[in-house]
C-alpha cells in the first residue's frame, strides 16, 4: 500500500492524489468556477467520481449529467468524458480510478480549452 500524498496544479484547478496501490488510485479534484477538464478518454482505466462540493456538468459518452454534492458518476473504460464547474464555488470531487495501468499518460485528449496535447 502506497500513500502518495502528491499535489498537482492544472489550468482548470488542481488535484491531490491521496492513495495509490496496484490497480487503484484515489484523488481529490478541485475545478475552478467556469473551468472544465479536457474532453478525454482512457485506454487502461475506468473512473468513478463522487461530488462533495459545488455544482457542475459531467459528460460521459455524449450524455450530459448535472452534478451536485452526493452525485456519483461512472466513467467506464474507454468512455469519452469531461466534467466542468457551472457554479460560483469550487467543484470538488473524489476520483477513484481502477485499471491495469494508472498514470497520467493514459489520457487521450479529444478537445481541450487550454490547448494541451495528449
What are the tens digits of pLDDT across the range 44-87? 999 999 999 999 999 999 999 999 999 999 999 999 999 999 99
- For the entire predicted model, the pTM comes to 0.93
Rounded distance between C-alpha atoms, residue 103 and residue 19, angstroms = 13
Cell of 115: 490547448
- For 14-23, the pLDDT digits (tens) are 999 999 999 9
Long-range contacts of residues 73-79, Cβ cutoff 8 Å, at least 24 apart: 73/48, 73/49, 74/46, 74/48, 75/46, 75/47, 75/48, 75/49, 76/46, 77/42, 77/43, 77/44, 77/45, 77/46, 78/41, 78/42, 78/43, 79/41, 79/46
The domains of the chain, with CATH numbers, are 6-111 (2.60.120.10)
Amino acid at each position: 500500500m502506497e500513500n502518495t500524498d502528491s499535489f498537482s496544479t492544472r489550468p482548470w484547478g488542481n488535484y491531490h492524489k491521496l492513495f495509490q496501490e496496484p490497480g487503484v488510485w484515489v484523488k481529490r479534484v478541485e475545478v475552478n468556477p467556469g473551468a472544465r477538464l479536457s474532453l478525454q478518454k482512457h485506454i487502461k482505466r475506468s473512473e468513478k467520481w463522487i461530488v462533495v462540493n459545488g455544482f457542475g456538468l459531467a459528460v460521459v459518452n455524449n450524455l450530459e449529467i448535472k452534478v451536485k454534492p452526493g452525485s456519483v458518476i461512472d466513467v467506464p473504460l474507454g468512455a469519452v468524458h469531461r466534467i466542468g464547474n457551472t457554479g460560483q464555488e469550487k467543484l470538488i470531487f473524489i476520483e477513484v480510478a481502477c485499471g491495469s495501468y494508472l498514470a497520467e499518460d493514459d489520457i487521450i485528449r479529444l478537445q481541450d480549452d487550454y490547448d494541451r496535447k495528449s
